[in-house]
Chains A and B, each alone.
Chain A
Amino acid sequence: MSFHLDQHGAVFSTRPKGRELRLAALSEHDSGQELHISFDGVQSISYSFADEFLGPLLLGPDRVVLDDVAPHLHRIIKSTMARRNIRLQDSELFAVTA
């Protein structure tokens, strides 16, 4: 399945919003399958949102693949991963670069 962030907005700011959308993504996710998250149409995210939305997902049991992440958001996501000590190659995480 693919969770489309742009169905919830284009600019994301807070941890509570990150938590809300993470739970929404998980509620639609079949355990044991890859979780695809589409960033198509997403314009800006804060570090706190990224950490709260992606951090626990990336530390979870299922592989997470981020689709269509705009280049300027790569830096924020990679910085979030570094802070969480998550080591993934770009090719493992980012499916398609917009």
Chain B
Amino acid sequence: MMEASDTLMRNLAQWDGAKDGWRANLPLKHYETSVVLDATALRFAVPTFLLRLRAFVEWHLHRGHSVTVLAPTNQAVAAYMAHMGVAKGLPEGTFVGLPDVSNPSESDVLIPVTQLREFQEVDELGERVYNLFLAHHSADVAAFASAMHMAVSELCANAVEHGANPCGCYVAAQRYERPQRRTVLALGDLGVGIPKHMRKRFRDLKGDRTALREALKEGVTATGKQERGIGFTSVAEEAMASQMRYATLDIHSGKAQLQQVVSPTREPAISTSTAPNKIGTWLTFEIGPCA
């Protein structure tokens, strides 16, 4: 049967946002070559969850399974999913009940759910993101063009390189007005995950929490190249150089989650905790508002 799919679904069902405390719990039915995911009761969603949902669907499609996702009956959540383009490019009928969105520009979506497999796609997205943010009507988006370009460049390139898998990696971004103005970039892949990747080179690393902490340190890299290992620190450094009041980076991978908080008024803080096992690596970078 679909053993890996069960694991994936447990991952999905156990999603627990580090900050919002929100959990998803979607009923799933398995058949021989098809799955039906019932999202009708969903009342809320965050970008990272949509990426995981999309990854789940594409993982099945890649294996020749048919997938049906019953869209939320809550119209706001369904419209949000449609605006985020969670069903875009999938076979017709994969998502049942999502509305047509006629004017996506009216939404707060900055980057709809996008799949990346090649570095060239990261370069193209980086340029698109920089120009989109710079020209945005909201000062709380425009001010972070460089910071978000850095985050997209470093985090997406990491995911394409280290999280390599047939589905590639997924990225999305949106802005929020409430409870405070902020921009959120979500990123994820179904690769080996940071702890396992780190242990390829640092065999003595004990525990996934330690592995995530180590991965965040400047110059620490499993590639064996001295000049590498600057991705995460670069994202924090560029965020600090912007006019932000705070930025956070949440990482879920393996059996751990890590949160890094940077702000102009205090030392960077890193906290870790154990978490339900997750395939791949799932990141949320949040920045704002303007100081």
| A17 partner residues in chain B, CB cutoff 8 A | 119, 123
Contact of A11 among B126, B218, B230, B231 (CB under 8 A): B126
Which residues of A from 76 to 92 have beta carbons under 8 Å from B?
A: 76, 79, 83-84
Does A16 reach chain B (CB closer than 8 Å)? yes
Are B149 and A46 in contact, CB atoms less than 8 angstroms apart? yes
Are B119 and A14 in contact, CB atoms less than 8 angstroms apart? yes
Does A39 reach chain B (CB closer than 8 Å)? no
Cross-chain pair count, CB within 8 angstroms? 72
Does B131 reach chain A (CB closer than 8 Å)? yes
Which residues of B from 222 to 251 have beta carbons under 8 Å from A?
A: 227, 230-231, 234, 237-238, 241
Contact of B227 among A16, A44, A55, A72 (CB under 8 A): A55
| A11 partner residues in chain B, CB cutoff 8 A | 126-127, 130-131, 149
Does A97 reach chain B (CB closer than 8 Å)? no
Are A46 and B130 in contact, CB atoms less than 8 angstroms apart? no
Q: How many residues of A contact B (CB 8 A)?
A: 23
Does B58 reach chain A (CB closer than 8 Å)? no
Are A14 and B227 in contact, CB atoms less than 8 angstroms apart? no
| B234 partner residues in chain A, CB cutoff 8 A | 46-48
Give chain B's interface secondary structure class: helix
Instruction: Closest A residue to B118 by CB, please name it.
Output: A16
| B231 partner residues in chain A, CB cutoff 8 A | 47-48
B interface footprint on A64-77 (CB within 8 Å = 1, 0 otherwise) = 00000000100110
Q: How many residues of B contact A (CB 8 A)?
A: 28
Does A2 reach chain B (CB closer than 8 Å)? no
Contact of A46 among B134, B145, B154, B241 (CB under 8 A): B154
Are A44 and B149 in contact, CB atoms less than 8 angstroms apart? yes
- Quote the shortest CB–CB distance from B249 to chain A (angstroms): 15
- Quote the shortest CB–CB distance from B283 to chain A (angstroms): 16
Does A33 reach chain B (CB closer than 8 Å)? no
CB-defined A-B contacts under 8 Å, sample of 17: A9-B123, A10-B127, A12-B123, A12-B126, A13-B152, A13-B157, A14-B153, A15-B119, A15-B157, A44-B130, A44-B146, A47-B230, A48-B153, A48-B157, A51-B230, A75-B241, A83-B218
Other A-B pairs beyond A13-B127, A83-B230, 11, CB < 8 Å = A9-B127, A13-B122, A13-B125, A13-B126, A13-B152, A14-B122, A14-B157, A16-B119, A44-B126, A79-B237, A83-B227
Closest 6 CB pairs of A and B: A13-B126, A46-B153, A13-B153, A47-B234, A11-B127, A16-B119
